[in-house]
Amino acid sequence: MSLLVKHFFRFGEFTVDPEQRVLFRAGTPVALAPKVFDTLLVLIENSGRIIEKTELMNRLWPDTFVEEANLAYNVQQLRKSLGDNARRPEYVETVARRGYRFIVRVEDVLTDAEQTGGNGTARCSVSEAKAPQDVTTTESETSALHPSPVMESAKKPLVDSVTTSSFWRPADKTAFAVALFALLTGGIFLYERSLARSNKGPAANPETGAGRLAIPVSVEKLTASGQSTNVAISRDGRYIAYTIGSETAQSIWLRQLSTNTNMEIVPPPGVVYGLAFAGNGEYLYFVKGDPKALYRVALFGGVPTRIVDNLEGNFSLSSDESQIAFIREAINHDGQREYSLMIASSGGGSERALLVGTHPNRLDVPLWSPDGQSIAFAQGNPFSGSHNVSIREINVASGAQKDVAPHKFFRIKRMAWLPHKAGLIISGAKSSAVELWRLSFSDMELRQVAGSLGSYLDLGITDDGSQVVASQAARISDLWVGTNRDPQTLKKTTQAIDEFCWTPDGRLVYQSSAAGTVDLWIMQPDGTGQKQLTVNTGANAAPAIAPNGHYIVFTSSRTGVFQVWRMNLDGSDQVQLTDDRGASYAAISTDGSWVVYDSTDNWHLWKVPIGGGESKPLTQYFAAYPSVSPDSKIIACLGRSESTSQILLVPADGGQPLRKINIVGGNFSGYRIKWAPDGKSLFYAANRNGVTSIIKQPLEGPFEQIARFDEDELFDFDYSVNQRLLAVTRGGWQHDSVLIRGLNLH
């Protein structure tokens, strides 16, 4: 009889499967970045013992130079995932000036289970650690940078770890069923995603025409800090440039691949938005600052030279390095974004607009052709939730345009030419994740060339196509609930992203990707009673609920474009309310009779009866994220002029704004504008100097800062109906750079 021996660690409500590299909380997988999981594993294996920072860094990054801030960042992210607090630790204790110690009781569990699923026996050894009372715990941890939480890939489907192990007790049948359902759902997702890494891929998708390459590739981690958002590789493959830093202070580093030596060439502060090597390998171009500007710096030091002002992060150098293509964005008099495809000399000056587009015809990702005669670019609306972003090309001399390929994307982040202009390698989204794709011009076939549980963002390629660099992003986001407005006292309850809402009976409807799909769930504020309301129906977001608690309205991309939908509180009777334009956010009137929403076509407000019917336009100017006043007479929404963002107070029947209120600091954050119950104040989130705060803005009088979020990024917030509880979705993004070889891109 064949036996399978499994090894687990257990502490509190958590279980760690070191083989599958998964952390479970009460049977539900917890999203951990790979390096954060490694940090947890080292701490657990040395529980009760102080691990010096130097030792821990050597274990995590052997033979690699990293700053101590990277370790602090990993510990910070681990604490967020465990719901731990640096000031009052339950799991990870900081020992001042020395290192860290895992202080909770850990069970080392070995289980014998038949592969056919028979009952097994468990053998446990327990190590318990207690911190000395005289040890002070202080922490100085760096904050994270800013699409979905990521679970580490298993070598085989995740469900195997459930069906073949016996640490689940027979008495826990209900918990086991819930956990098994979650793991089956997440396991299928992980299994399908892991196919991209295997030598056997599925057939082409009949809807997108996209398949997967069945070739082995080599993926090498270039950074492990979680703070590398941008990366570029020189055309000869000798050097890699990458960024390291926080949301407000990023530096640019240069790595020589042959010696693996690193040096900083552009120090912080400032945020970097794009990198590109000059063809001769002597200079690096980069976009940095606020407002953004394009600079050039010598690879081995020197003062950066300012080249072009007022551009977005994506730019491209012509092959002879005489010209630069870039996108300039502006707000026109209607408050809409206007995009210009510009070219200029590489030394600055001689600017010329080749093409101008207004939302939703966003222009992005310019890319000079190898012969210098044309520029490829992305055009379309990345906010609609549909495949309408196309790749086009414009002739620089004549201005003639054409489609490059029939394939379309949700969004495109970067593009690069394959050798001999045989095609393109694209960092783009066909689904929720931004993945790498190869477009071959010989047969116009689009195939996925590298799979990952993260999203690929930045992108670079050598002239011969032998090496590709890319940055990967993973978001850690959770729903936190507390009894007051101090974010330090909020308690993490479950994984959740972006928008949520409170029900009149005190429950929470929230958006989660924990099961591998972006769906809506409902639960009690303490995390109990979780129930999935939408299942495998595209991306579902932005829930809002009628005060009578009857209906939930939300947006869903299940038809191919984000539209407004309605369902009962238990998830039944799901009905589409709009079908003529995309929608991003909806709100319900106080009496529950109508719904107001913003369209992704033009960011105007529209109104539709909750029972269904024809939509009515309310504004002919930019207006987003609507919120209906308690008396249903006024709609508060986000507006913007050519110079700043504002809160607009619009009559419920539409028309010009009754009043405009300036956003504190000018930087609106998130999606939420919320009325106070008495209708005399508004709440919203604003970013000031890199820190997000919840602002209370009376209609008459000065604003008040309610709460600050120094470490995390705030995605959404809301107060319960009785105003006694505050809930927030918060977290951060992890970015790291990778080097990919063996893609056979010719």
pLDDT tens-place string over residues 332-357 = 777 778 899 999 988 888 889 999 98
152 and 252, same domain (yes or no)? no
The residues with which 364 forms a beta bridge, in sequence order, are: 378
508 and 398, same domain (yes or no)? no
pLDDT at 746: 52
Residue 295 CA to residue 116 CA, distance in Å, equals 62
Query: What pLDDT band is residue 680 in, cutting at 50, 70 and 90?
Result: very high
Residue 596 CA to residue 585 CA, distance in Å, equals 8
Neighbours of 407 (CB within 10 A): 21
How wide is the angle at C-alpha 476 spanned by C-alphas 50 and 291, nearest 5°? Answer: 110
SS3 content of the chain, % helix, strand, coil (to 5): 10, 45, 45
Indicate whether 207 belongs to any domain. Answer: no
Indicate whether 571 belongs to any domain. Answer: yes
Residue 417 CA to residue 149 CA, distance in Å, equals 30
Indicate whether 231 belongs to any domain. Answer: no
Cβ-contact 682, 692 below 8 angstroms: no
Select from 410, 427, 455 the last residue of a domain.
Answer: 455
Neighbours of 494 (CB within 10 A): 21
pLDDT at 187: 34
Does the bond joining 157 to the residue before it have cis omega, within 30 degrees of 0?
no
79 and 125, same domain (yes or no)? yes
Residue 686 CA to residue 684 CA, distance in Å, equals 7
Res. 197: pLDDT tops 70: no
Phi, psi values for residue 520, rounded to 5°: -100, 140
Helix (H, G, I), strand (E, B) or coil at 178: helix
Cβ-contact 101, 112 below 8 angstroms: no
Percent of the chain with pLDDT over 90: 30
Residue 454 CA to residue 443 CA, distance in Å, equals 29
In the block, tokens 């080599």 appear at 218
pLDDT at 586: 93
How do residues 437-468 score in pLDDT, each as one tens digit? 888 888 888 887 755 445 788 888 998 888 88
Q: Which of 263, 265, 295, 292 is nearest to 278 (CA)?
A: 295
Cβ-contact 580, 612 below 8 angstroms: no
pLDDT at 558: 85
Indicate whether 529 belongs to any domain. Answer: yes
pLDDT at 111: 58
Select from 196, 229, 262 the last residue of a domain.
Answer: 196
Q: H or E element: which one contains 60?
A: helix 53-60
Q: Rounded to the nearest 10 degrees, what angle do helices 53-60 and 68-82 cross at? A: 90
Phi, psi values for residue 236, rounded to 5°: -90, 0
Of 74-78, 136-140, 415-419, give the range with the top mean pLDDT: 415-419
The CATH number linked to 72 is 1.10.10.10
Q: H or E element: which one contains 175?
A: helix 173-194
Indicate whether 344 belongs to any domain. Answer: yes
The residues with which 691 forms a beta bridge, in sequence order, are: 688
Helix (H, G, I), strand (E, B) or coil at 69: helix
Helix (H, G, I), strand (E, B) or coil at 320: coil
Indicate whether 656 belongs to any domain. Answer: yes
Tokens of 189: 């997702």
> 671-687 burial by CB neighbour count: b if 16+ within 10 A, else e?
bbbbbbeeeebbbbbbb
| Average model confidence (pLDDT) across the chain | 78
439 and 496, same domain (yes or no)? no
425 and 532, same domain (yes or no)? no
Cβ-contact 586, 567 below 8 angstroms: no
Res. 741: pLDDT tops 50: yes
482 and 554, same domain (yes or no)? yes
Query: Any idea of the CA torsion for 476, 479, 484, 490, to the nearest 10 degrees?
Result: -50
> 423-446 burial by CB neighbour count: b if 16+ within 10 A, else e?
bbbbbbbbebbbbbbbbeeeeebb
Distance of CA 144 to the CA centre of its chain: 12
Indicate whether 352 belongs to any domain. Answer: yes
Helix (H, G, I), strand (E, B) or coil at 300: coil
Q: Residue 158, CB half-sphere, CA atoms under 13 Å: how many?
A: 32
Q: Which domain holds residue 514?
A: 475-678+711-731
503 and 367, same domain (yes or no)? no
Cβ-contact 522, 496 below 8 angstroms: no
245 and 109, same domain (yes or no)? no
pLDDT at 428: 87
Q: H or E element: which one contains 10?
A: strand 3-11
Does the bond joining 291 to the residue before it have cis omega, within 30 degrees of 0?
yes
More confident: 561 or 190: 561
Cβ-contact 325, 340 below 8 angstroms: no
The CATH number linked to 534 is 2.120.10.30
Quickly list DSSP for 638-686.
EEE-SS-EEEEEEETT--S-SEEEEPGGG-EEEEEEEE-TTSSEEEEEE
446 and 509, same domain (yes or no)? no
483 and 605, same domain (yes or no)? yes
Q: Which of 478, 475, 485, 425 is nearest to 455 (CA)?
A: 475
Residue 363 CA to residue 365 CA, distance in Å, equals 7
Q: How many domains does the chain have?
A: 3
Distance of CA 392 to the CA centre of its chain: 27
Of 124-138, 202-216, 231-245, 661-675, give the range with the top mean pLDDT: 231-245
How do residues 509-537 score in pLDDT, each as one tens digit? 999 887 777 899 999 999 999 999 998 67
Cβ-contact 387, 410 below 8 angstroms: yes
Neighbours of 183 (CB within 10 A): 24
Q: Which of 439, 435, 399, 433 is nearest to 416 (CA)?
A: 439
> 56-90 burial by CB neighbour count: b if 16+ within 10 A, else e?
bbeebbeeeeeeebbbbbbbbbbbbbbbbbbeebe
pLDDT at 326: 93
Select from 178, 196, 214 the last residue of a domain.
Answer: 196
Burial of residue 260 (number of CB atoms within 10 Å: 0-12, 13-18, 19+) = exposed
The residues with which 254 forms a beta bridge, in sequence order, are: 241, 263
Neighbours of 201 (CB within 10 A): 17
How do residues 369-418 score in pLDDT, each as one tens digit? 998 999 999 998 887 666 778 999 999 999 999 999 888 888 899 999 98
Residue 592 CA to residue 682 CA, distance in Å, equals 21
DSSP state of 244: E
Res. 234: pLDDT tops 70: yes
Query: What pLDDT band is residue 30 in, cutting at 50, 70 and 90?
Result: confident
Cβ-contact 741, 220 below 8 angstroms: yes
pLDDT at 645: 82
Indicate whether 202 belongs to any domain. Answer: no
Report in angstroms the alpha-carbon separations of 274 from 294, 296, 597: 9, 12, 34
Residue 615 CA to residue 595 CA, distance in Å, equals 9
262 and 300, same domain (yes or no)? yes
Residue 673 CA to residue 605 CA, distance in Å, equals 15
Res. 656: pLDDT tops 90: yes
How wide is the angle at C-alpha 730 spanned by C-alphas 726 and 736, nearest 5°? Answer: 175
pLDDT at 135: 30
Res. 588: pLDDT tops 50: yes
613 and 531, same domain (yes or no)? yes
Q: Which of 528, 516, 557, 561 is nearest to 540 (CA)?
A: 557
In this structure, the chain runs to a length of 746
DSSP state of 316: E
* Cα end-to-end span (Å), the chain: 50
pLDDT at 43: 92
Residue 617 CA to residue 599 CA, distance in Å, equals 10
Which pTM value belongs to this model?
0.65
